[in-house]
Amino acid sequence: MQPSPEVEELMVRYQQGDGAASTALIERLSPQLYRFFLAQVVSRRYADDLLQETWLRVHQARHTWRAGEPLLPWLYALARHVRVDHYRKARRVEDRERQVEELPEKSAVPAPERWPDVERMLRELPESQREVLLMLKVSGMSIEEVARATGSSAGSVKQKAHRAYEKLRRWYES
């Protein structure tokens, strides 16, 4: 889903201090960002936290977006950094905590035979491939927009997407 020029106009008005524009922008883009986070984290609570943190960072960095530039790559770059920061913080906490006892594993409810467990398949992809795939297919971003958002070249984005498609195809066929 590409943002319309109206969304970019909302961002311009938000930069100028228009509170109604910020509310409209959040309402328009939050579902897309939420799906991006939900596909990468285990719980909805974390996806909610990441979404809120992203909008806080957007507010703090709104002056860095340049009118006329595509909004989605700028927004997803911020969202990516929020997710990475959250992951690093969780790892630091996990490293400091000592687990007293092992928790029992969740019992998995088997999916119908004809439907693959897409969430599991996505979780098993390397993070960079999963991220590119989600931006391309879930968020509807172009190769160039994903490249800008991830700080990669278009060729690198294509390569990561291709490798992700190949892995998903092999898992689906097995």
pLDDT of residue 14: 94
List Cβ<8 Å contacts ≥24 apart for 62-68.
62/11, 62/14, 62/15, 63/15, 65/11, 65/15, 67/8, 67/11, 67/12, 67/15
Both structure tokens of 126: 């390397």
**Residue 81 confidence (pLDDT) above 50:** yes
Mean pLDDT of 42-69: 90
Query: Domain range holding 77?
Result: 1-95
Residue 173's CATH number: 1.10.10.10
Measured distance CA(24)–CA(35) in Å, rounded:
18
Of the ranges 3-12, 69-78, 94-103, which one carries the lowest mean pLDDT score?
94-103
Residue 22's CATH number: 1.10.1740.10
Measured distance CA(9)–CA(165) in Å, rounded:
35
For 124-138, the pLDDT digits (tens) are 899 999 999 989 988
For 155-169, the pLDDT digits (tens) are 999 999 999 999 988
pLDDT of residue 111: 47
pTM of structure: 0.60
Q: Does residue 140 form part of some domain?
A: yes
The set of residues, in sequence order, having a beta carbon less than 8 Å from that of 35 and lying 6+ positions away, is 134, 138, 139
pLDDT of residue 113: 58
Among candidate residues 61, 95, 129, the one where a domain is terminated: 95
**Count of structural domains within the chain:** 2
Mean pLDDT of 83-108: 68
The set of residues, in sequence order, having a beta carbon less than 8 Å from that of 54 and lying 6+ positions away, is 33, 37, 75, 78, 79, 82
